[in-house]
Amino acid sequence: MGILARFKDIMSSNMNALLDKAENPEKMIDQYLRNLNSDLGKVKSETASMMAEEQRAKRVLDDCLTEITKMQNYAIKALEMGNEEDARKFLERKANLANKEIELQEAYQLAVSNSNQMKKMHDKLVSDIQELEARKDMLKGKMAVARTQEKINKIGSSVHHANTSISAFDRMEEKINKALDEANAMAKLNADSKEDMKDLTAKYDNKVETDVDAELEALKARFNK
């Protein structure tokens, strides 16, 4: 791609947009700087060449205009001296130079346009390089902070999962404790029921013994009579 063809790309390039789209901004910064410095070297050389061409075109155009003026003056002098034929020749030469002057004017305007484009490209590249150099360390520092934050976020996510697991464990422990409490309560109820039955049977067991003693005493009383 020619340097002038690169002009539109360079002038329309947006460093911030390029960095935003980059997967690895740190590498992109270094690569962008290398590209800019490479372009700048070419632009400097081409700019000098274009400026030289502009000066050459201007010099040729000025020479042509000077020659046209000279032919005009010679024609006037020839007429003043009564040499109409010589005056005609000078005017014919002037007419040819006038046609040439149109072409030279176009060439000069093109040289000026190309030179201005190269100067703008040069200034744009210098500005981008200076800005990127000034921001390079800051941008890399921000990227380091961003990566650290990303690691912290990942650790935080792991902690969240751990907390979720702990919460699930706590819920399981709560269920187990509840089941144990219910089992203990049931055991206590069963134990209380057995004690009640024991007391009840003991009541009647004592009554049987009391009835036997009473009957024995009654029998003894009969025989003693």
pLDDT on residue 219: 73
Say how far apart CA 4 and CA 15 lie, in whole Å.
20
Selected residue with higher pLDDT from 179 and 197: 179
Q: What is the mean pLDDT of residues 158-173?
A: 66
Banded pLDDT at 221 (limits 50, 70, 90): confident
CA distance from start to end of the chain: 151
CA 38 vs CA 26, 29, 114: distances in Å? 19, 14, 20
The residue among 41, 36, 101 whose CA lies nearest residue 67 is: 101
Unique residue bearing structure tokens 């650790």: 155
Residue 19: pLDDT above 90? Answer: no
Q: Give the Cα-Cα-Cα angle 210, 213, 214 (nearest 5 degrees).
A: 85
Residue 60 lies in a domain: yes
Residue 28: pLDDT above 80? Answer: no
pLDDT on residue 76: 95
Residue 224 lies in a domain: no
Range in 71-75, 158-162, 178-182 the model is least confident about: 158-162
Q: What is the mean pLDDT of residues 183-211?
A: 63
Residue 127 lies in a domain: yes
Residue 52 lies in a domain: yes
Q: What is the mean pLDDT of residues 164-187?
A: 73
Q: Structural domain tally of the chain?
A: 1
Selected residue with higher pLDDT from 42 and 145: 42
Say how far apart CA 14 and CA 133 lie, in whole Å.
15
Selected residue with higher pLDDT from 214 and 75: 75
Structure tokens at 189: 């109820």
Residue 16 lies in a domain: yes
Domain that holds residue 38: 3-171
Cβ atoms of 11 and 116 closer than 8 Å? no
Selected residue with higher pLDDT from 26 and 161: 26
pLDDT on residue 1: 46
pLDDT on residue 137: 76
Residue 112 lies in a domain: yes
pLDDT on residue 46: 86
Residue 207 lies in a domain: no
Selected residue with higher pLDDT from 2 and 223: 223
| pLDDT tens column, 93-141 | 999 999 999 999 999 999 999 899 888 888 888 888 888 787 777 777 7
Residue 166 lies in a domain: yes
Mean pLDDT, the chain, integer: 78
Structure tokens at 155: 């650790």
